[in-house]
Amino acid sequence: MRQQSNASLPAEESLLETAAGIQALRADTPGCESVIHFNNAGCGLVARPVLTAMTDHLQLEAEIGGYEASAARDVQVRDFYASIADLLGTGPGNIAFAGSATHAYTKALSAIDFRAGDVILTTRNDFISNQIAFLALRKRFGVEVVHAPDLPDGRGVDVDAMAALMRYRRPRLVAATHVPTNSGLVQPVAEIGRHCRELGLLYLVDACQSVGQYPIDVDGIGCDLLTATCRKFLRGPRGSGFLYVSDRVLREGYEPLFIDMYGARWVEPEAYRPVDSAARFEEWEFPYATLLGCAAAVRYALRVGLEPISRRTPALAARLRDHLAGIPGVRLLDRGPAPAALVTFEVEGWQPQPFKTALDERGVNSALSFREFAQYDFGDKDVDWCLRLSPHYYNTEDEVDTVAAAVAELAERGRRNR
């Protein structure tokens, strides 16, 4: 379904291939007027149609009532599911809305009847909250958490070693994060998925940083469950995410531990029946304005094109890395052959917050990561903190150069103060 929300964009097919197209996308992004936003891995800047979809709905709720407004926008609400299904190459019935990626992830975990001694096989670069959830499952149910080893030089997980662990340990769950929060590493999630399919293992993928940055095809990845937020590279609103649930998982009757009147029918006093679709992972209450904002954001991303986005966005990050590599006192921390648009580095002579504040003062949005966010990765790299800069397709080469110049100036100051 083409949304009228993209009417503000010119009709050319490849917006990202011309300066005029990029200018149109920037003009459609209010935040571009006031900041150099290099914190898309935290939260992307929303485009105007996303803002409009949300504010219009809040207005309608105020005018006619909340339940009445969601009923009036039923077609657009359903497009939340259809748009994400289009994004992932699946059906609308395989998508559940969630308040965050972590909400989606813990709902998915809660559907697995872990027993003492079950193995969760994961990687050293899975997201902090996922690692904490695995440890919580270990504490409560006595599961064993096994981390597959990495290839040398931090080039990501060793898939052969992980596959060997799959065969010998027969994990109850295999879990991998596509792009971790703490570096630009891209993990080979489809290769892992091939082994899971071959062995019939349940496979959960965290695609929080990759959705909106790369084309994602759940069949190609071979996952059973996939989670993401809408607020990062998809440029949706805060407080939104989703869970993909495969037909196999639905057919086999997986359901979240706590399922409510939306996810299940109370068919008789002593029994309930989960609904057939991924809606069994949802609850009765939805933030409808947010949901509509997400649908607008996903349609927008599809209009801009995930293939062109996946070429431009990591290329802007690569340009930034090239600049930073030449700055004395800066150590780049990203590994792997084709890193994503998360540029991480440490700087000599600075404490984390003053360094970030100095960039804030120059109108550059950035984020900090700490050892606690990535115990294995930062331990291996021997860093306590780093700065993360994450451009998106609507950023410009000039902005990249300006940010690199700001880092160079601050790094020079840091070296003088040492």
Ligand X SMILES: Cc1ncc(COP(=O)(O)O)c(C=O)c1O
Q: Is 181 near ligand X (CB under 6 A)?
A: yes
For ligand X (CB under 6 A), the number of binding residues is 13
Residue 213 or 395 having the CB closest to ligand X: 213
CA 291 – CA 297 distance, rounded (Å): 10
Residue 76 or 102 having the CB closest to ligand X: 102
Residue 3 or 369 having the CB closest to ligand X: 369
Q: Is 208 near ligand X (CB under 6 A)?
A: yes
The tokens describing 17, both together, are 């291939």
Q: Is 241 near ligand X (CB under 6 A)?
A: yes
The tokens describing 382, both together, are 């021997």
104: Cβ–Cβ under 8 A, 6 or more apart, which residues? 96, 98, 227, 228, 241, 242, 243, 281
Residue 190 or 264 having the CB closest to ligand X: 190
Tell me which H or E stretch contains 227. Answer: strand 225-229
CA 153 – CA 304 distance, rounded (Å): 35
Q: Which stretch binds ligand X (CB under 6 A): 11-19, 45-53, 87-95, 203-211?
A: 203-211
Residue 60 or 108 having the CB closest to ligand X: 108
Say if CB 264 and CB 255 are below 8 A apart. Answer: yes
**Cα→Cα distances 112→106, 118, 209, 308, Å:** 10, 11, 24, 37
CA 264 – CA 271 distance, rounded (Å): 10
Question: How near is the Cβ of 98 to ligand X at its closest, in Å?
Answer: 8
State phi, psi for 297 to the nearest 5 degrees: -65, -40
CA 285 – CA 304 distance, rounded (Å): 31
Instruction: State how beta strands 241-245 and 95-98 pair.
Output: antiparallel
Residue 300 or 373 having the CB closest to ligand X: 373
Q: Which stretch binds ligand X (CB under 6 A): 83-91, 187-195, 202-210, 407-415?
A: 202-210
Binders of ligand X among residues 79 to 108 (CB under 6 A) are: 100-102
Instruction: State how beta strands 364-365 and 36-37 pair.
Output: parallel
Q: Is 185 near ligand X (CB under 6 A)?
A: no
Q: How many residues does the chain have?
A: 418
CA 32 – CA 51 distance, rounded (Å): 14
CA 9 – CA 109 distance, rounded (Å): 40
Question: How near is the Cβ of 199 to ligand X at its closest, in Å?
Answer: 25
Which of 229, 246, 290, 390 contacts ligand X by CB under 6 A?
Answer: 229
Residue 4 or 375 having the CB closest to ligand X: 375
Residue 90 or 131 having the CB closest to ligand X: 131
**Cα→Cα distances 27→48, 229, 269, Å:** 9, 24, 57
Residue 101 or 250 having the CB closest to ligand X: 101
Q: Hey, what amino acid is at 230?
A: C
Binding string, residues 32-71; x marks residues near ligand X by CB under 6 A? ----------------------------------------
Q: Is 206 near ligand X (CB under 6 A)?
A: yes
Cα–chain-centroid distance for residue 4?
Answer: 26
Q: Which stretch binds ligand X (CB under 6 A): 21-29, 46-54, 87-95, 176-184?
A: 176-184
Question: How near is the Cβ of 185 to ligand X at its closest, in Å?
Answer: 10
| Coil vs helix vs strand at 378 | helix
Q: Is 216 near ligand X (CB under 6 A)?
A: no
Question: How near is the Cβ of 337 to ligand X at its closest, in Å?
Answer: 19
Q: Which stretch binds ligand X (CB under 6 A): 47-55, 205-213, 275-283, 290-298?
A: 205-213
Which of 97, 114, 127, 378 contacts ligand X by CB under 6 A?
Answer: 127
- Where along the sequence are the contacts to ligand X (CB under 6 A)? 100-102, 127, 129, 177, 180-181, 206, 208-209, 229, 241
